[in-house]
Amino acid sequence: MPKLVWLNGTVSPLESAVTSVADHAHLYGDGLFEGIRIYAGRIFKLDEHLDRIYFGCNFLRYEMTISKPELREIILDVCRQADIADGYIRLNITRGTGLGLDPKNIDRNPNVMVMISSLALYPPEAYARGLDVVTVSLRTLPPDTLDPRLKCIGKYAGNILAKFEANQRGAGEGLMLNQQGQIAECTGDNIFFVIDGIVRTPHRSCGMLQGITRNTVLELCAEHQIPAIEEVLTPYDAFTASEAFLTGTAAEVIPMVTLDGQPIGDGKPGPITQRIMELYRATTQTGVPFAL
């Protein structure tokens, strides 16, 4: 598969694609991104990802010149050119180009990039065994600084530091709490627990990204009569859960079997987790086809 990049109307191989050093995301982290999966020639949850990034553009007051339907067709066309069956799309939108923090002094034509590549976050054996997770020291941003529902490039410096801490401690992921000590998310994934037979995930007000995969799991639970709720959770809830799993576009659905060295339940992927993994894998085949 050729790895391609569409950048402001020009398509080039990934290896030779370049962007301006004065891009506002490069200078200040002033950009938004989405990671989108391709399964069997179909783009999974394409419209949901576009909705989220355009919400971010409105929130951050980007002056988008490409409409959502136009960008949707651009993504489909670049996927056709890449002729890819399974892969990963990275969509970036930045405020514009120019040195200086003040947006009024820069070229505010947003820079838009569509990258077609591949990404494997965890090895296959991790899905069978499950992940060891540790609670990291870094907290998530409170919404009165930058709303965590924004998939903002600059915000992820904190997540990267938290992931670095998890790596140093030999864990597959790091659990992040909010400023109140409530469970928010992991460094790159949302988190779910099974407590008393009910699937529970942190409420969207707890300072986490409102993930597309997270929403899909909640939809699947409703469709298949699996009790599921959003609520405020603390580390106490994690240690008393019988099962746990993480979700994300790159991670999909992956079991979590320990937290801070303590087993979750019996320390193995549980039956509800495995059922949700099966349901999720099946629904990934329902994406938007791009072949002509």
Tokens of 168: 């140093």
Q: Are 257 and 128 in contact (CB under 8 A)?
A: no
**What tens digit of pLDDT does each residue of 260-286 get?**
999 999 999 999 999 999 999 999 999
Class of the 124-284 domain?
alpha beta
**What tens digit of pLDDT does each residue of 2-46 get?**
799 999 999 999 999 999 999 999 999 999 999 999 999 999 999
- Fold agreement (4-117, 124-284): no
CATH fold of the domain at 4-117: D-amino Acid Aminotransferase; Chain A, domain 1 (3.30.470)
Q: Are 54 and 60 in contact (CB under 8 A)?
A: no
Q: Are 226 and 192 in contact (CB under 8 A)?
A: no
Q: Are 84 and 78 in contact (CB under 8 A)?
A: no
**What tens digit of pLDDT does each residue of 2-14 get?**
799 999 999 999 9
Which value, in Å, is the radius of gyration of the alpha carbons in the chain?
19
Say how far apart CA 197 and CA 194 lie, in whole Å: 6
How many C-beta atoms lie closer than 10 Å to residue 137's C-beta?
11
Parse the chain into domains and list their residue ranges: 4-117, 124-284
**What tens digit of pLDDT does each residue of 102-157 get?**
999 999 999 999 999 998 778 899 999 999 999 999 999 988 888 888 999 999 99
**What tens digit of pLDDT does each residue of 207-233 get?**
999 999 999 999 999 999 999 999 999
Q: Are 84 and 38 in contact (CB under 8 A)?
A: yes
Global confidence as pTM: 0.95
Q: Are 52 and 34 in contact (CB under 8 A)?
A: yes
Tokens of 178: 């909010």
